Structure 1
Amino acid sequence: MDHINLRHLHYFWMIARNGSIVRAADVLKLSPQTLSGQLATLEANLGNALFLRRNRSLQLTNFGQTVFSYAEEIFQSVQALDDLLQQPPETRPLNLSVGIAASIHKLIAYHLTAPALALPRPVHLRCQTGETSELLKRLGRRELDILLTDRQPDFKDAGQFRATQLASSSISLFAAPALSSRLMPGFPASLDREPFLTTSLNAPYINELMNWFAAQRIRINVVAEVDDSALIKVFGREGVGYFAAPTVIREEVCRQYEVTCIGAIEQVRETLYAVTRARASSNPGVAALLHTRPDLDDSIEKTEQ
């Protein structure tokens, strides 16, 4: 500890995260000259350069990368402690930031977040959608409290995140009435070479579905790849092709998009997870989402009534 000044280490961490001394100085409300001097002091104390300075830009050295990885762990732990100490009183709203993978159907996402809204204290819920990979980064930066997704983090992130299975549903296929009336007789062989709408979000269930098609000797005719779970159903409603969606929302999909269920595929399932940081969260909203798992069949049935 004789060589490490935590304030100087924090300044270095902020410079590395922001990419420049000027931007870090702006965040820290310090002058760039002061911050540059503190960085030089830290480098002198550690006996190694932390950055390579090239044309006004900074690039971490190998030693700097190592120091940064430790600093990242230290200050994320400090932030976690600060979050705990700053928990609002019971009379104030509870802030809960939820990331939702774009490939998850929005009705399912609502029912998965509903337990937090049922807490006895007021909840200020903020939902953000996007690609799982980007949302995981935001979760790691503590910009999100929890992530709802259809895939588990990669093994390389296993030490940083924890995944909890929340729900699972088989997959059904849907189409506009004219197309479905042609495809329902002889299902699933009737799907051979028929126009198919697929998500472009690399959803895990799509890979399972493709393997199921191959096992059934069904040749796929992909006519469109769509990266939005609602838009793909609009294309289906207009008769562009048939599409897949979780069986648990079958009635809602048929009602809202005026399509017909061609058939269910029990061998193909969509599994949904809640991903949190490995260190347990003290946010009651996160606990509600993890431990109060709604019966999606029952919840959606009540919504439709």
Structure 2
Amino acid sequence: MNRLNLRHLHYFWMIARAGSIARAAESLALSPQTLSGQLATLEAELGSALFRRANRSLQLTEFGQTVFSYADDIFQTAQALDEIIQQPPEDRPLNLSVGVAASIHKLIAYHLTAPALTLSREVHLRCRTGETNQLLKALGQRELDVLLTDRQPDFKDTGQFRAHRLASSSISLFAAPKLASKLIPGFPNSLDRQPFLTTSLNAPYINELMNWFAAQRIQVKIVAEVDDSALIKVFGREGIGYFAAPTVIQDEVCRQYEVECIGSIGQVRETLYAITRARTGHNIAIQALLTERADLDDSIEKNDQ
């Protein structure tokens, strides 16, 4: 420990995570020259290079990879400890930052976050939508506390994150009453060449649904691709086409958007996950969100029957 300067090690860790000295220097509020000098001092202390330059960027050497893996454990643990130390007294609101994948239906997102809002202690909730990969990066950088997504990410570092299965629902199809009256008789063959509204976000359940259409020999006529699940439902309400949504929110979708359920497809399912950092501290709002998943899943299974 006498040879290891933790401040220099932290600077190295920040550079490795940022991918460049300039970006790390900006995060640390240091000049790139100062940060470069600190890195050189650490390499001299350790007796080996930690980075090599390749295509105008920094890449970890084999030794640098080893040092980074240990540094990552050290500073992830330190940040988790800092979260515990900085926790406010019980009479102050808890902060909960939730990332929501844009392909998740907003009504589903509400149901998944609701358990954290029913605690006796006040919770200050912040929600941020976006693509799963972008939100996962924000989670790793501690900008988010938890990520709700409809796909289980392929983690490069399995020690950094944890995936928690929250729920699974079959998929149903919906349309405005006039179009629904045409599609309900003869379902599913009635769907052939009829206007369909789909998400443009490559949601896993949409891929399964397209395979199901193909198996049923239904020719899909896509009239709109939309990257917002709520906007798709608005288009559906106006009779532009039929759309898909999880069966668990069937009643809410029909009531809120004045549409009718054409039919449910048990073979096509949407599975939802919560992604957390491996060390989440003791945020009871996160724990509530995770532990209430069984009740939500039971309600989904009941609605699917």
Output the TM-score relative to the length of structure 2. 0.87
CA shift in 2, pair 1:119/1:270, >3 Å:
same
Secondary structure (helix, strand or coil) at the match of 1:129 reads strand
1:62 equivalent in alignment to 2:61: yes
Aligned to 1:203: 203
Aligned to 1:253: 253
CA shift in 2, pair 1:39/1:197, >3 Å:
same
**Structure 2 Cα separation of the partners of residues 69 and 285 of structure 1:** 30
CA shift in 2, pair 1:263/1:47, >3 Å:
same
Secondary structure (helix, strand or coil) at the match of 1:245 reads strand
How many residue pairs get matched? Answer: 298
**Structure 1 Cα separation of the partners of residues 296 and 25 of structure 2:** 50
Shift of 1:205: 1.3
Aligned to 2:13: 13
Shift of 1:297: 9.1
CA shift in 2, pair 1:218/1:8, >3 Å:
same
**Structure 2 Cα separation of the partners of residues 26 and 270 of structure 1:** 40
Are the equivalent residues in 2 in contact too, given 1:153–1:161 (CA < 8 A)? no
Are the equivalent residues in 2 in contact too, given 1:184–1:263 (CA < 8 A)? yes
Aligned to 2:4: 4
**Structure 2 Cα separation of the partners of residues 253 and 128 of structure 1:** 22
Aligned to 1:109: 109
Are the equivalent residues in 2 in contact too, given 1:99–1:135 (CA < 8 A)? yes
Query: Once structures 1 and 2 are overlaid, which stretch shifts more, 113-122 or 58-67?
Result: 58-67
**Structure 2 Cα separation of the partners of residues 117 and 172 of structure 1:** 28
Aligned to 2:183: 183
CA RMSD of aligned residues (A): 2.6
Q: How does 1:27-38 map to 2 (within 5 A)?
A: 27-38=27-38
Aligned to 1:153: 153
Aligned to 2:142: 142
**Structure 2 Cα separation of the partners of residues 111 and 121 of structure 1:** 19
Are the equivalent residues in 2 in contact too, given 1:248–1:296 (CA < 8 A)? no
Aligned to 1:276: 276
Are the equivalent residues in 1 in contact too, given 2:175–2:243 (CA < 8 A)? yes
1:98 equivalent in alignment to 2:93: no
Are the equivalent residues in 2 in contact too, given 1:171–1:268 (CA < 8 A)? yes
Aligned to 1:303: none
Shift of 1:52: 4.4
Are the equivalent residues in 2 in contact too, given 1:111–1:296 (CA < 8 A)? no
Secondary structure (helix, strand or coil) at the match of 1:230 reads helix
Aligned to 2:303: none
CA shift in 2, pair 1:247/1:22, >3 Å:
closer
Question: Letter of the aligned partner of 1:210 in structure 2?
Answer: M
- Deviation string 1:241-262 (CA, Å, 9 cap, x unpaired) is 2110111212221222222211
Output the TM-score relative to the length of structure 1. 0.87
Shift of 1:239: 2.2
Are the equivalent residues in 1 in contact too, given 2:166–2:297 (CA < 8 A)? no
**Structure 2 Cα separation of the partners of residues 253 and 219 of structure 1:** 25
- Deviation string 1:18-77 (CA, Å, 9 cap, x unpaired) is 45545544543445544333222111122233344689x652342444433432332112
Q: How does 1:123-138 map to 2 (within 5 A)?
A: 123-138=123-138
Query: Once structures 1 and 2 are overlaid, which stretch shifts more, 23-32 or 194-203?
Result: 23-32
Give the share of equivalent positions with the same residue, in percent: 76
Shift of 1:10: 0.9
Are the equivalent residues in 1 in contact too, given 2:168–2:297 (CA < 8 A)? no
- Deviation string 1:217-236 (CA, Å, 9 cap, x unpaired) is 21222222211101111222
- Deviation string 1:106-148 (CA, Å, 9 cap, x unpaired) is 1221121111111111211111111111111111222211111
Secondary structure (helix, strand or coil) at the match of 1:217 reads coil
Question: Letter of the aligned partner of 1:108 in structure 2?
Answer: I
CA shift in 2, pair 1:107/1:296, >3 Å:
farther
Are the equivalent residues in 2 in contact too, given 1:166–1:290 (CA < 8 A)? yes
Shift of 1:207: 2.0
Are the equivalent residues in 2 in contact too, given 1:97–1:127 (CA < 8 A)? yes
**Structure 1 Cα separation of the partners of residues 260 and 5 of structure 2:** 66
Shift of 1:168: 2.1
Shift of 1:176: 2.0
**Structure 1 Cα separation of the partners of residues 264 and 14 of structure 2:** 52
Are the equivalent residues in 2 in contact too, given 1:105–1:229 (CA < 8 A)? yes
**Structure 2 Cα separation of the partners of residues 229 and 127 of structure 1:** 16
Are the equivalent residues in 2 in contact too, given 1:170–1:267 (CA < 8 A)? yes
Shift of 1:216: 1.5
CA shift in 2, pair 1:34/1:157, >3 Å:
closer
